[in-house]
Structure 1
Amino acid sequence: MTTTRLSVRVVATRLGADEGWTMLLGREAESARIEAFVATVADGAGDVLRLLGEPGVGKTVLLDHAAEVAADRGVRVVRLAGVRSEAGLPFAAVQRLLHALRVPVASLPPLQRQALGVAFGEIEGPPPDRFRIGAALRAALVVAAAEAPVLGLVDDLQWLDPDSRDILGFAARRLEESGLGLLLAERAGDDGGPGPFDGLAVLPVPGLPRDAAVALVERVLGRALDPPIADRIVVATGGNALALVELAPSLSGHQLVGGTLLPEQLSIGPTLERHYLERIRALPPTTRTWLLVAAAAGNGDPGLVSGAAAVLGVGVDAAGPAEDERLIRVGARIEFRHPLVAAAVYAGAGATDRRRSHRAVADALGAGTIGHAWHLGAATVGVDEQVAATLEAAGQRAAGQGGQAARARLLQRSAELTPDGPRRTERWIDAAEAFTTAGYPARAGEVLGALPVDLLGGATRGRALLARAAVWLVSGAADLVRASPAVCLEAADAFAGVDADQETTALLRAVELLGVVERGAVGTDFEAVARRILRALDGRDGPDTLPQLLVRAVAALTLWPYAEAAPVLRRATDALLGAGPAAAQQYSSIGVAVTTAAFDDAARDLLLRRATAEARRTGSLQVLHSMLWVHSLTAASLGRPDVAGALLEDSRAVGRTMGLSPVVETIYGNTTCRAWQGAADPAALRAEIAAGGALGRAVGMVGVETMARNAQVVLDLADGRPAEAHGPASAIRAERALQVAMVVLPDLVEAAAAAGHDDEAADAAAELAAIAAASRTDLARGFAARARALVDARRPGADPAAVEEAYRESAEHLARTTATGELARTRLLHGEWLRRGRRRGEAREHLRAALALFEDIGARPFADRARRELRASGGQHAGGGLTAQEAAVADLAAAGATNPEIAARLSLSRHTVDYHLRKVFQKLGVTDRRALGAVLRRTTHTT
């Protein structure tokens, strides 16, 4: 038999060097990667690496190797393992990790100390911001690494409680240059979908190569094998190291010499569980009971296991035989030889014995804790209202600690144990709502699937329908997304005459979802919802509540002239801002629509800041992600790509922590911001914006497509292509999608006027004037004055003084807002108008001001346009002896504009453009437009 010489290194497992042969055979590549990873951490950098592989393939041994390498390099090692039974305990794994770090909580900032205290149930306080808990974990890691680098080794990542997974994912993305490393071992395919660690570096851990697997089996057996038999063993186990070590000794002599056929492929997990179960069944009954308690408790706490075992009349000595068999090790913590051993113990026990073990653990924990409720739920069979109520109360405690995922799981179990009747249905709906809030819509959908929603009635049916609409909205299925507003109307009908407040809530939700699907909605539209709102409100007595004011404002905006709707918009805005942070978060989506329609940028900004702060305080990831994204959109709509870009990055960070997929991240992009920012490759940017819009439409979120069309309008105007901008802007206005149709008006006026659609430009400007007169805000007045200037300048015999006054009025109003980019556009348009009137000296003043503002906010396309205009005004020139006019023509030609387009943008005749371009080619020594860009980049300078 010929074998490849291997570098064989014996590594002691967690159970001790005498456990047997556990070798890094065939793991040269993985070992080298891990050694390089540890070296990076030892050198003071921060890094994360995930090991992915099937159970028993050798991930834990690689973690052990990392621990040895780290110790040799002076890196402190902290270990953590996921525990199945902690799924319903909020932040259980984070608490264990912080305990292992031994970082004094007093060394952390006060707000982080408070967040941890509340999260762990140690102090009273408002539900902590989940990100503050994440920041506290990162801060603790940094403190721990202050004296020496720290390597965190996390095994069975898939079994961390969901709240801890989110927090660890948050911290893992923020290690940077910290001397902190996280090596995470996870079962491949066990995560059930996107998660907070998606996108981090992955090291796959496959089965061992053939020669390494054979060498391992022969070392275990102490004998050589014939090649055909060795090959069959390797094939049957898939090279799984644990299977080779554990199962090879159990093969019969006939199998080892080929007398009996081996299976083609073992199912490793179940096969190993059966193998361990045979060994477990040979143990004394009291030992089996002790092991079952340890498996049920799950957290490795010897005190808890001893206490629970004592409840069942089993003493500490019962663990001895299992230790002798090396199935467990008992020390500071109880460790099973492998998670499959614990799984075999638990699965091999009878259902009655499992429940007895959980009840014993619950008794040992004592009433009043979340753990007690969780294990009590696991110990209960059938239905039990008392236990269901205990779980429900524990869910509320978990929410109070910021553990939204734990709350959802506790409520689900509560619903399962509730006797048939209205309360059971309500708890199922509670659980679905909780999963949605926690950012697990798929689980929410599964929970709702257990309900006969269509057979329910009254308020219960209404709640179930609202929960269904929330799940449908994020389902990714276009037909469900488009139908979600109509489902909200169904809910409103179910609440009608039963619960007026809930009816209003359903109508408000319908408005919010229509803002997402817009003209793609199936079964309803803005006008239908507006009429349904007025029908619901007009028959009620007394003053409107806040939600009633908000939906009434939407109905007024949809059905009435703006002058009549404006007072309702102001009342709703004032009431919302006067209601405090919680209301700002609760009604943020409709509040943004109302304040945007009121052209009140200050009120909208305050609303979003309050809503974001409240979402951080309560730890609601879904709301926080949404608020940061919406705030980014509104900042972009004001021409603030600098602010919008920063907010978008924050939103994406939250999305990654939530585990949102790249597709969802693309949908929650900001194409308007990208248009303002520009790109080195304009064609690629246009393709990116178009792709974002197409994706939004494909998943039913037509509002995302509208944003992309609006972004193209902005980009076309920045590039001096008003004819291209006109069509989409006109279409967006015609669709009348609530406030969106008004937001596009300033762009429409500019595009229509420059493209020669004078009547449409005048009509849009008149609408802006009416809005400004009714809203009385600086933002609306600034837009209206600019529109008036653009329209008046096109009229025969226009009064230059009136046009100039309109531009000055626009700048004065916009300077009092946060719309920096829009102020710069007013200065740009004013400068362009002056240059075309041959008032070049005055034009340069405005163009330089515009250019400075555009550069400050990072608006590259508009800055390029201002720079071209400045050149054309004589304020800037290119090298190579070009005149200002020649430089302007050259810039546009290099950017791909045709001669007719250049003539239109610079107000020149085509003959003049041809003449200038010939002179440019001659002076710069080029023969075509393709060479212009490179030459201009080398020669251009500012005077």
Structure 2
Amino acid sequence: MRAKITRPELRGRRHEREALDRLIRDVRAGHSRVLVLRGEAGAGKTALLDQVAGDATAVTVARAAGVEPETEIAYSALQQLLAPLLGHLDALPEPQRRALGTAFGLTAGDPPEALLVGLAVLGLLAEAAAERPLVCVVDDAQWLDRMSEVILTFVARRLDAESVALVFAARTPGGDRILADLPELRVDGLPEADARALLDSVLPGPVDDRVRDRIVAETRGNPLALLELPRERTAAELAFGFGGPGGAPVAGQVEEDFQRRVAALPADTRTLLAAAAVEPVGDPALLWRAAGRLGVGMDAAAAAEQAGLVEFGALVRFRHPLVRSAAWRAAGPATLRDVHAALAAGTDPGLDPDRHAWHRAHAATGPDEDVALELERSADRALARGGRAAAAAFLERAAELTTDPKHRSALLLAAARARLAAGAADRVPDLLAAAGLGPLDPLQQALAERLRAQTTLALDPGPAAGPALLAAARRLEALDPAAARETYLSALGVADPAGDELRRTAQAALAAPAADDAPGALLTGLATWALDGPAAAVPALRRALDAIDPARDLDLLWLAVPAALEVSDVATAHRLSGVAAGAARAAGALSVLPVALTLHAGTLLLMGRSGEAADLLAECEGLAAATGAARHADVGCGHASLAALTTTPAALTATPAALDTLQGAAAHPALGMRALVLSEVVEAAVHANEPAVAADARDLLATHAAATGTDWSLGALALADALTEPADGRFREAAARFEAAGLGLLTARARLLHGEWLRREGRRADARTVLHAAHDAFAGMGLHAFAERAARELAATGETVRKRSDGPSDELTAQEAQIARLAVAGRTNPEIGAALFLSPRTVEWHLRKVFGKLGITSRRELAAALVRP
């Protein structure tokens, strides 16, 4: 009779079980919860997960586990977890359904962005939970493949009101950085009394109390160690404990013990266990096919089951992950190669080509061009599914198996590109060094040089990468002109505006072969700007802006929008950033979306649409929180910071130090900052009583206005004239031109400055008119610091300003207000969910709360309720 693995009753886990019971209760009540159990191997994490799965009544349970041999197979754990839920796939929006289908290899399509796959998984869980609360249990998270970890972490950060629980177990040390910043529960050793009781339940006979206490101390209450280490030891052997304070870690001792127990099994049983350890899914049919090819019969399973190490049933299940590790590590290299060869032969290459290739690769005893080619095809499939890290792993192994030095170098270069795209820049230098050992043609050498420069930029964003990018661009000129132009653009974009590197890069770019496409036109415009100054560059920059398709040229956005601001064309900046933000959001383009959002928010702030800008900035913050990324300190956030600066009345309190800072920025303004920074200098210099500084900045604005001729630049000049040589007409012209340009924020600021001057001139009645207009505009924008400044000026004219009273909308949380505004704008729940990285069901839940707080019952009443006093 085969022995079944018995799960001992949990001891001493009251705190942990209470936490898990609360989690299940919350999920049944309609909330979502996330918890990561962290502890050393054998601490009882798997037992707690089993308890969750077994005790969770009236819920659906989905399970998966990371497996060490599978860490390079993209989405392997995620597919295992979601397989029972794919029946809900048709309920997802088409872009999400297509992204998830492509990621899982169910359909063909363009490589999906991780963000879009994450939204699809979030939606899929929500749809499944709509029928019945859902509990997802993921064991051994430290061995999740990279894409599964990324997606599950994203989903965990965005769950809210879907009735979904995600419970993970991660080993420490080793999994400490997995699923970072999620709620966690430490699973430590058992309390002394419980540890003693557990040890007593498995001791072979009476043991001296002092010996028992020593065993408990040495194991630190680790349940698996207490259960397994006493097995097959005599009382005399136990008298010496398990190795003393200086011995190996407990988990290592337990695994060594499992290895000894595996080693004591018959040879066929050991081979079968090795095959089960390597086969990650626990598919008994595949295992027995492989066993047949290894000449191992079904009777080999009996000894392993009787030893309590594994259970062969509908699934093959090891007693503990350490048993799998022990069986894997106990097998010699020759046995493992045989096992992989048998599993490859038993795996249908049509149904599971990547695992077939992976097994063949591990079965190879030396170079094998056929296997290398199969791995290359797997890499192509991984890239098509968005699995860049997996593609890199396939390519690296293919490079090991090829005999052609040139082909090997090409594979390593491709692997380096994939590693960089996957965010593993630290692994690129070694790959490039290995690629350089073989023959590289001139183009490959240039591309390798560019990869080194891009890696430098990824590891240390800023001007430091500029010289390397410039050198790579020069090498690429005659080999790949398009790649050279892209590299020159990157070099120009990171160069310090005050340094010589910008001029050297611009000179080289203009000397390179020109092109009339969007990148070529933008490169010409930016190089002209750097060499000949902003006025000379205006025509070239405008031609470039006309050539750019924001939905197609997303990679140019970070330079194109600042270029539009450089020529004082806020309408074009708004159009480019708005279309790009929509395209990046729809595609889930994580590399572009934060830049697009912050750039578009900056244009909206300048236009006085601060509520919409706040929504986009909150979306950017939500993106950072959802993905675990730091806030993007790139040009996008730089322009958002600039827009934020304009909402602070710094000029009134300008100090010489602050003026010095502004002058420094105005001496070599970054692309797109010219008109705004020079305007700030004029205002600050006037308040600091530095007329010469104000006059110099005014003259630079005059040159800029003559070159661009836009209402924005002409309005900025009119305001500078009004501040340096006050005149009622110039103030009014400034406000009118800003208004014509759609710059609501600058219009209100011009009126505020006009009113302040009128009040100082003693024209109180005239001052009240423009100050009221400024105050009402600022209050409507939610820019309370400026509104209060206008209110103080009104008070100085003898006017009383009614203080703003809180209305019903002030009871809303920031997220509720954001959802409400998007609903008023006509967005559907799925569209709002996609914008805020929430499931549509969570959006609906928040809207119900909004309706309750505002005392309304439908979306039709939202707009009026939000502005109701």
TM bucket normalised to smaller: 0.7 to 0.9
Q: Aligned match of 2:773 in 849, 858, 866?
A: 849
1:67 aligns to what?
53
Q: Alignment partner for residue 555 of structure 1, among 521, 524, 527?
A: 527
Task: Note closer, same or farther for the CA distance 1:765–1:549 as it changes in structure 2 (3 Å cut).
Answer: same
TM-score by length of 2: 0.84
Aligned equivalent of 1:811, options 727, 732, 738? 738
Counterpart among 776, 780, 793 of residue 713 in structure 2: 780
Contact 1:302-1:333 at 8 Å conserved across structures: yes
Q: Find the partner of 1:503 among 475, 478, 484.
A: 484
| Alignment-mate amino acid for residue 489 of structure 1 | L
Deviates more, 1:630-639 or 1:832-841: 630-639
| Residues 139 and 505 (structure 1), Cα distance of their counterparts in 2 relative to 1, 3 Å cut | closer
2:554 match: 585
Q: Distance in 1 between matches of 2:332 and 2:220?
A: 31
1:572 aligns with 2:553: no
Partner of 2:659: 726
Does the C-alpha gap of structure 1 residues 234 and 130 become closer, same or farther in structure 2, counting only changes over 3 Å?
same
Secondary structure of 1:294's counterpart equals: helix
Alignment of 1:108-257 (within 5 A): 108-191=92-175, 193=177, 197-221=179-203, 223=205, 225-257=207-239
Aligned equivalent of 1:88: 72
Q: Using the TM superposition, give the Cα deviation of residue 641 of structure 1 relative to its aligned residue in structure 2, in angstroms.
A: 5.0
Residue 718 of structure 1: how far off its partner (Å)? 6.2
Larger relative CO (CA 8 A, sep 6+): 1 or 2?
A: 2
Q: Say if 2:341 is the partner of 1:359.
A: yes
CA–CA distance in 2 between the matches of 1:259 and 1:413? 44
Q: Does 2:351 match 1:370?
A: no
Give the corresponding residue for 2:431.
447
CA distance in 1, matches of 2:429, 2:575: 34
Does the CA-based 8 Å contact 1:130-1:619 persist in structure 2? yes
Contact 1:486/1:510, CA 8 A, preserved across alignment: yes
- The CA distance in 1 between the partners of 2:296 and 2:147, in whole Å, is 34
Aligned-residue offset at 1:570? 0.9
**1:643: how far off?**
4.1
| Alignment deviations for residues 12-48 of structure 1 (CA, whole Å, 9 cap, x no partner) | xxxx996457343232222222222222222221111
Amino acid at match of 1:790: L
> Does residue 688 of structure 2 align to residue 755 of structure 1?
yes
Q: What fraction of aligned residue pairs are identical, expressed as a percent? A: 36
CA distance in structure 2 between the partners assigned to 1:866 and 1:546 by the alignment? 45
Which of 414, 420, 431 is the matching residue for 1:430? Answer: 414
User: What SS does structure 2 have at the residue aligned with 1:122?
Assistant: coil
Q: Is the 8 A contact 1:628 1:647 kept in 2?
A: yes
CA–CA separation in structure 2 for the residues paired with 1:626 and 1:224: 69
Deviations 1:639-674 (A, max 9, x none): 6654444333333443345443x5x66889958757
The answer for the alignment partner of 1:48 in structure 2 is: 34
Distance 1:675 1:530 in 2: 25
Which residue type is aligned with residue 400 of structure 1?
A
Unaligned runs of 5+ in 1: 1-15, 678-710, 794-798, 880-942
Secondary structure (helix, strand or coil) at the match of 2:648 reads: helix
> Are 1:649 and 2:635 an aligned pair?
no
**DSSP-derived class of the 1:843 partner:** helix
- Deviation at residue 560 of structure 1 after TM alignment: 1.0
Could you tell me how far apart the structure 2 residues matched to 1:848 and 1:821 are?
A: 15
Instruction: Answer yes or no: is the 8 Å Cα contact 2:425–2:459 preserved in 1.
Output: yes
1:474 Cα deviation from its structure 2 partner: 3.4
- Residue in structure 1 matched with residue 593 of structure 2 by the alignment: 624
Q: Which moved more, 1:453-462 or 1:430-439?
A: 453-462
- Once the two structures are TM-superposed, the CA of residue 352 in structure 1 deviates from its matched residue by 2.6
Q: Among residues 439, 442, 454, which one is paired with 1:470 in the alignment?
A: 454
Quote the Cα distance in structure 1 between the aligned partners of 2:482 and 2:131. 58
How far apart are residue 185 of structure 1 and its match? 0.8
The 5-angstrom pairing of residues 856-935 of structure 1 reads 856-876=780-800
Q: Deviations over 1:725-766 (max 9, x none)?
A: 422111101134444445412212221223222233233233
TM alignment of 1:663-682, pairs within 5 A:
670=637
In structure 2, distance between residues paired with 1:19 and 1:407? 38
Gaps of 5+ in 2: 804-868
Kindly tell me: are residues 256 and 808 of structure 1, through their superposed partners in 2, closer, same or farther at Cα, counting changes over 3 Å?
closer
User: Secondary structure at the residue paired with 1:221?
Assistant: coil
Q: Distance in 1 between matches of 2:397 and 2:176?
A: 20
Alpha-carbon separation, structure 1, partners of 2:328 and 2:457: 39
What is the correspondence of 1:785-800 to structure 2 with a 5 Å cutoff?
A: 785-793=718-726, 799-800=727-728
Counterparts of 1:176 and 1:212 in 2: how far apart (Å)? 37
Aligned to 1:29: 15
Q: CA deviation at 1:612?
A: 4.1
User: Are 2:17 and 1:39 equivalent residues in the alignment?
Assistant: no
Q: Is the 8 A contact 1:238 1:265 kept in 2?
A: no
Q: Secondary structure, in 3 states, of the residue corresponding to 1:77? A: strand
Who is 1:525 aligned against? 501
- Cα shift at 1:518: 5.6
Could you tell me which amino acid in structure 2 is paired with residue 439 of structure 1? G
Whole-angstrom distance in 2 between the partners of 1:613 and 1:380: 48
- The RMSD of aligned alpha carbons is 3.3
Moved more, 416-425 or 167-176: 416-425
Give secondary structure in 1 for the equivalent of 2:410.
helix
Partner amino acid, structure 2, of 1:814: A
Question: 3-state DSSP class of the match of 1:125?
Answer: coil
> 1:482-514, CA deviations, whole angstroms, 9 ceiling, x for partnerless residues?
521111122124335444333323222212222
Give 1:589's aligned amino acid. Answer: W
> Could you tell me how far 1:468 is from its partner in structure 2?
2.2
CA contact (8 A) 1:438 1:622 kept: no
Cα separation, partners in 2 of 1:854 and 1:301, compared to 1, 3 Å? farther
Of 565-574 and 305-314, deviating more is 305-314
Counterparts in 2 of 1:99 and 1:64: CA distance versus 1, 3 Å: same
Counterpart residue type for residue 721 of structure 2: R
Q: How far did 1:567 drift?
A: 0.8
Q: Once the two structures are superposed, what CA deviation does each residue of 1:378-428 show, in whole Å capped at 9, x if it has no partner?
A: 333444344333323322222222323322332333334344634323322
Is the alpha carbon distance of 1:543 and 1:495 closer, same or farther for their aligned partners in structure 2, counting shifts above 3 Å?
closer
8 A Cα contact 1:280 1:345, kept in partner: yes
CA contact (8 A) 1:831 1:844 kept: yes
Q: Secondary structure at the match of 2:525?
A: helix
The equivalences for 1:383-398 within 5 A come to 383-398=367-382
Give the AA of the match of 1:570: R
CA contact (8 A) 1:86 1:92 kept: yes
- Name the amino acid aligned to 1:57: A
Contact 1:505 1:547 survives alignment (8 Å): yes
Letter in 1 for 2:457: L
CA offsets per residue over residues 278-332 of structure 1, 9 Å max, x none?
Answer: 2223333333333222222212223333333344344555434323332222333
Aligned residues: 801
Contact 1:461-1:491 at 8 Å conserved across structures: no
Task: Encode CA deviations 1:783-839: one digit per residue, 9 max, x unaligned.
Answer: 33333332331xxxxx43x32442343333332xxx432232223223323333333
Which string of whole-angstrom CA distances, capped at 9 and with x for unpartnered residues, describes residues 59-98 of structure 1? 1111122234422xx3332222122233333322222222
Structure 1 Cα separation of the partners of residues 572 and 239 of structure 2? 83
Tell me whether 647-656 or 61-70 shows the greater mean CA deviation: 647-656
Q: What is the alpha-carbon distance in structure 1 between the residues aligned to residue 535 and residue 151 of structure 2? A: 49
Q: State the match for 1:745 in structure 2.
A: 678
Residue matched to 1:328: 310
